[in-house]
Amino acid sequence: MAAWKVAVDRDSCLGTGICVVYAPDTFAHDEEAKAVVVGPPEPLDTVRTAVEGCPTRALRWTDDATEPPVADHERR
C-alpha cells in the first residue's frame, strides 16, 4: 500500500479552520492564518473528514494513487 500525505493549496486556503477542528494533530494555522501540515497524520478517517470538510478544497491527497486512500473498514 502506498504511503499517503496531505498537501495544502495555500492559494485556495481561506483559513476557515475546519481542518484544525477535525484533525488538530495534523493541521494548524501559520502566521498568515493558512493551514499547514504539522505532524504525523492522524488516523485515516480523521484526516479524510478534514480533507472532505474543507470548504475551499484546499486540501488534497498526495501519493502515487489516483484515488484517496481507503480505510481498512472500507476495503472489500
* Alpha carbon distance 42, 48 (integer Å): 10
pLDDT at 67 over 70: no
* Alpha carbon distance 75, 14 (integer Å): 33
- Of 43, 53, 44, 57, whose CA–CA distance to 14 is shortest? 57
Q: Global pTM?
A: 0.77
Domains of the chain: 7-61 (3.30.70.20)
Mean pLDDT of 52-61: 94
Report which residue type is found at 72. Answer: D
4-46: pLDDT as tens digits? 788 999 999 999 999 999 999 999 999 999 999 997 778 888 9
Mean pLDDT of 50-73: 74
Q: Are 15 and 34 in contact (CB under 8 A)?
A: yes
| Largest Cα–Cα separation, the chain | 43
